[in-house]
A and B are shown apart, each in its own frame.
Chain A
Amino acid sequence: MNDSEKLDRLLKQALASEEEPEEKLNEELINRYKERNRMKRGTRKRLSAGVLVAVLAVALSATAYAATQLFSSKQVAEHLGEKALAGAFGSSDAIEINKTVTSGGYEVTLHGIVSGAGLRGLDASGISSDRTYAVVSVARQDGSPMPKTSDPEYGKDPFFVSPLIKGLKPWQVNIFTMKGGYAETVVDGIAYRLIECDGVEMFADRGVYLAVSSGGSFFSKDAFVYDEQTGEIAPNGDYAGAAVLFDLPLDKVKADPAKADAYLRELLKEPSDEKTSEASASPGSPEDELVNEMERLNSKIPDAKVLEGSVLEVGYDGKGNIVYDYDGWHVVRLAETLFTEGQTGEWVVAGFSGDDSGYKALQFSKDEQGVVKGRILLLD
């Protein structure tokens, strides 16, 4: 046997692997798939305790195949794997807008929007005709690329993209409160976001905007000004970042005032009426809304049930992060961010996740030996 054949044989022996995925790993994969499917059909609301940026999305990474600039809402939806939605964006009921506004160093484009009739017949694909979907893209004015979702810089300048309704307080009625979510991808340096939320067609007679601002994931009263007298919403010209409002050319015939009133009565019922009136007297910040919501969920914890099988000792990734995987949760966190010094024996909340079927809380606890465990609570 010559050297070449010898080397080939050794490489075969050395590099062949007999490792198999653990059964648990495959079970978690199936669970994650189920969770992603469920999130696509309902709300995508994930609140992270102690952190003021709440991500309502599944962020998708651009792959090695992405090489084409995407121009239409249909193309963006296709790229994000939403085939049924892509078809809806291509239908005659979709509104293709393709308007670009430059603001705060960014070029913001509203590509298109689809609601109602354009979504009929897509229930089997998890698309509801009671929802509104829109596609927005953001590019840097100087031509430098937006960071990819896999880049450490990604998310450092977060964006708020949301419908807003004239006459309704934007901090009360926006994508967060309208059971919204989004998926995002970056292709050729341009960030494309597909948002969804409860349908806005019913408000067509009031005036509906699509707001986009940088510098935060929530509605910002620094970026937008709300006139309580007239109900007009406008970008703040002095805002350092991007603040753009697009008028949505919805067909007023599709407005449904009765449905809109009923929707708003339900929407504005939580938090409590006392807190609603406090918010009316002096507009609360988005952070206040988040805190209120977290307090509401925290109050459910004492009576919550532990999700069977979820109490698990965490893993470690060798970089000081704990790793917890169960029921679609995949959490990698610095252990020191969870516990105060010397804190043992208590379950601390690390996050909430919710959708139409109820909310869950993720908790971690450390014992005196330093062993960290995680568990999931069913809040509803």
Chain B
Amino acid sequence: MEIEELSDLVKRHGKAIYSFCRVLAANRADADDLYQETFLKAVEKREQLDASRNPKGFLLSIAVGLRRNHRRKFAWRQRIAPMDELAAADDRFDLAGGATPEETAISRELRDRIRDAADGLGDKLKIPLYLFYTADMSVDEIASALQIPVGTVKSRLHQARRTMKEKLEAELL
């Protein structure tokens, strides 16, 4: 692969890959490492990259694979936010000058709590969740990247959402 081709690949998909690496890795240094290794591995697998016709999906699948083989252990925090707070958050949105929830960003603290809850999921659920919400991939694309059936992706996303809801409501119990 020529340098220009690699640069172009990075330009087109770098942000999506980096975003995904950031949520997978424990810290920025590990994410940076995973990001670079992903592209370098993709270059070595040039033929498979070209054959996939979905370079972003192929790159993300490499990142998933590399992370599995990665030496470092990640420590995850688990914090939960009650569903009451989610309801309260909506109220706050409504009170904030009449802006709709879609137009108002969620608070940083709430975002962190949701991310922590997602981080606490096992890889089986976490990775499809991140591929769907962080990397903005479709169910079909996720199935192709992870080499699992579409039905399995749907099932895992459903399970992930359900688990997230339970985690975020747990404080109420």
Which A residues contact B (CB, under 8 angstroms)? 3-4, 6-21, 25-26, 28-30, 32-34, 36, 60-65, 81, 83, 148-152, 315-318, 323, 330
Contacts and interface: CB of A to CB of B under 8 A. Distances in A.
Given A19-B19, A20-B14, A317-B27, A11 B6 contact: no
Sorting the interface of chain B by its residue count into under 10, 10 to 19, 20 to 34 or 35 or more gives: 35 or more
Contact of A3 (B7, B10, B165): B165
B69 A150 contact: yes
Contacts of A61: 66, 69
Given A9-B102, A16-B134, A34 B14 contact: no
B162 to A, nearest CB: 9
B10 A26 contact: yes
Given A19-B18, A19-B22, A317-B29, A10 B71 contact: no
A149 B41 CA distance: 14
A9 B101 contact: yes
A63 B133 contact: no
A30 B7 contact: yes
Interface in B6-61: 6-7, 10, 14-15, 18-20, 22-23, 26-27, 29-30, 32-33, 35-36, 39-41, 43-45, 47, 61
Nearest to A61: B69
Given A19-B18, A33-B3, A150-B69, A28 B36 contact: yes
A33 B40 contact: yes
5 contacts: A20-B18, A148-B69, A152-B71, A323-B29, A330-B33
Contact of B111 (A4, A14, A33, A62): A14
B153 interface: no
A318 B27 contact: yes
Nearest to A14: B114
B164 to A, nearest CB: 7
B69 A62 contact: yes
Contacts of A19: 15, 18-19, 22
Contact of A317 (B30, B47, B66): B30
A39 to B, nearest CB: 12
A29 B39 contact: yes
B39 to A, nearest CB: 6
B112 to A, nearest CB: 8
Nearest to A149: B69
Interface of B: 3, 6-7, 10, 14-15, 18-20, 22-23, 26-27, 29-30, 32-33, 35-36, 39-41, 43-45, 47, 61-62, 64-66, 68-71, 83, 86, 89-90, 101-102, 105-106, 110-111, 114-115, 118, 129-130, 133-134, 136, 161, 164-165, 168
B14 A65 contact: no
Q: Top 8 closest A-B pairs, CB basis?
A: A64-B65, A17-B19, A14-B114, A81-B44, A15-B133, A150-B69, A21-B18, A14-B111
A64 B68 contact: yes
Given A7-B165, A17-B134, A29-B10, A63 B18 contact: no
B118 A15 contact: yes
B151 to A, nearest CB: 19
B152 to A, nearest CB: 16
Nearest to A29: B36
Contacts of B29: 315-318, 323
A152 B69 CA distance: 11
Contacts of A36: 40
A20 B10 contact: no
Contacts of B115: 14-15
Contacts of B118: 11, 14-15
A345 to B, nearest CB: 27
Nearest to B62: A63
Given A25-B32, A29-B40, 17 more contacts: A3-B165, A7-B86, A10-B89, A14-B111, A15-B115, A15-B130, A15-B133, A16-B136, A17-B20, A18-B19, A21-B32, A29-B6, A29-B10, A29-B36, A33-B6, A83-B47, A317-B27
B114 A11 contact: yes
B123 to A, nearest CB: 11
A63 B69 contact: yes
A34 B43 CA distance: 12
Nearest to A22: B32
Given A20-B18, A318-B27, A63 B41 contact: yes
B111 A13 contact: yes
